[in-house]
Structures are given as structure tokens and as C-alpha cells.
Structure 1
């Protein structure tokens, strides 16, 4: 999804939760500022749905919970909240919060032109403060490509680039899948800019 700064006054986290309940669209909350989340492309939405369905099916008999783009992530040790496209938590602490996850082991962001730099940069720097996050998957919506940021047991983050023909491995939830599975049925023709 695409985030744009809202012109609202700075809010406390409590004010943000109360205010957002009355809004028609979702808003991320970073350092007291709110950012409207506008809709993404059809491919963006379909890819996010495929991930949540795949995760939910894979984790059906586990203690883990799959989150879609309606579930906020509270950035650990901050009062910041984001909306990833998909997430998974297996942490009992997330079972006692009704409005968000704080300790996901897996986060998925479907990339768009306007948010790719943010998703790869400052958003990932915020997410990696989470001690239980193991996999951060960035997914192209225009080509068969994914970049996985995986935290090794040593705490070091490595990047694994996946392309057509590859099998994606998410160690955080013990899931492997053919990359094409996510892109099946999608039109990957590059989107043209609107003309006036």
C-alpha cells in the first residue's frame, strides 16, 4: 500500500487509535504523525491475499496467527504502528492484544514504486528492532522477484534474492514454495502512467 502524510495534528497513541476507528481509510502512525494508506494495484492486493491464504493454510494446526493488511504491527519499544501486507506471529504476547501484533516472526511487504525505498530502508530498520523477527519478505508486483531479509542465528541479516524458477524458503514458519505459486494468474505487464 502507499503511504502519504496526513495533515492531522500530532496525536498520542491513544488518540491515534480512537481517531483511526472513525476514519474510512487506514493510517500508519510514526513518531506522532499519521500517514494515510491508499490502495495499491490489483496485483498488489491479489499477491497479499495469496500470501495470507498460503500462510493460514500452512499454519492451520499451529499456535501461530496469520495477519493480513488490516492488522497493525507495533514497532518494538516504540509507539509506532505500521500496516504490512501480511505477517505471522507465533508469540503468546500477541494473543493478548486486540488491535495489533508486536512480535511477528515474519513480515511481508508487496512493493510499489512509491514505497519501495521506504520498505527497503527506514521501515526495515524499524522492523529489525523486533528480537523475534526472522524473515522480512519484499515482493515485486510487476515481475517474478522477491528479496528475503533473513536473520541468522548469529543475529546477522542476509539478503536472498529469488527469481523465476526458484523455491522460496521461509525458515520462520518452516514453509517452502515455488515462487510462481504467488504470481499464478496475474498480468505482469508493467503498469503505464495515467494520461491526462
Structure 2
């Protein structure tokens, strides 16, 4: 979720959380009894998942896969529920799921200063425990970069990253490869319609 988490002192069981959260006006994530309220993020943080989904949906059409953006809850199997920015499942066991996914193959998080530590820390640990997950991707909306944890041989993971100097894709536009869905595309596609923050030149003192 591209949002700033706010933690609540309220603790409850997974079952109580699912029943309670379904009645709330905003989304809440859940980590072993701890409730985490999700608040709004920036427009670039929302644009990245939209761009990702625009690539995934036509590519996966007719292949028995489902693509979700932001509103789909994922259970990691350890009493933890998250709202990733993008989730893809091709598992029949998720076909009729109504409340949350359990068997995703690809999960994407759009980084922000307030959520990056969790995305790289506790979320990384919990996501990589999902038996069906093949790739966990991290995207920085404020600079061109792509990071991917890719399953090699269970329980091992490989780390892959792409980062370019500057923000001019006409000079360098590397190819991104997603093994989980057999998809290749230029890195610039993830940043379509995103204006990067202006760099302020240094002045002589």
C-alpha cells in the first residue's frame, strides 16, 4: 500500500480483525494482533501500481491469472494481512476468494519515505514466506529503479536490481524481466506520466 501506516494500540485475533476491518471506512493491515491503519500517499505512488497493472492485465489475459491493485488483501500464512500495491495470483485456490488472497505469485510495493523501512523489513520477511510467491518487487516512484527478490530454489531467493543515472530514459532505458509472469518491458513503462522531483543545483558558497 502506498501509504503512511499509523499504528493502533488495539490488538485482536485474526478472526476478529477480519470481521472488524470489513466494517471500516479505511484499510487496516494486521501483524499478529497489531492493527495498522493505512492513510493516503502521493500521486506518483499511485501511478506506479496503475502503470504496472496496465502492463500485466493484457499480458495475462486468458491465462487464468488475476491482477489486483491496492485493494486486495493478502494473507502471508502467519496471521499477517497486507494490502500490497500490486498482487498477481494464478492459483486456482484463489479463484473464488472473496476477502483475501493466499497464493500470489507476484507482489509489488511502491516505496515511500514513510513505508520503505517496513517494505524492506518486516513485509519482506513475511512475503517471502508465502509458498507460491515467485517474485517480490520494490519500485521507487521518485527515481528510476527496480528491485526484485526472485525465488531460485526454495527456500533460496536471488536479488536483482536496475537503476539508471539521472531520469532521462532516452539515454538509458533498460529492460525489466518478470520471471513469475514471463514478461519483459522497458523500465520507462513503469514511470509513464510520472514527473520526477526537480533536482536543485548546488550554488557556490
Shared fold per TM-score greater than 0.5: yes
Is residue 69–residue 84 contact of structure 2 (8 Å, CA) maintained in 1?
yes
168, 179, 186: which one aligns with 2:187: 179
Find the aligned partners of 2:98 and 2:45 in 1 and give their Cα distance: 26
1:68 and 2:69 correspond: yes
Q: Which runs of 4+ in 1 moved over 3 A?
A: none
Is there any run of 5+ residues in structure 1 with no aligned partner, and where? 192-196
Larger radius of gyration: 2
SS in 2 for 1:84: coil
RMSD: 1.5
Partner of 2:24: 23
Find the aligned partners of 1:30 and 1:136 in 2 and give their Cα distance: 19
Relative distance call for 1:88 and 1:23 in structure 2 (3 A) is same
Partner of 2:174: 166
Find the aligned partners of 1:151 and 1:109 in 2 and give their Cα distance: 17
Find the aligned partners of 2:100 and 2:198 in 1 and give their Cα distance: 34
Q: Deviations over 1:98-149 (max 9, x none)?
A: 1111111100000001111111111111111112211100000100111111
Matched residue count: 189
The 5 Å alignment of 1:125-144 reads: 125-144=125-144
Is residue 14–residue 32 contact of structure 2 (8 Å, CA) maintained in 1?
no
Partner of 2:168: none
The 5 Å alignment of 1:39-188 reads: 39-76=40-77, 78-153=78-153, 155-164=155-164, 165-188=173-196
TM-score by length of 1: 0.91
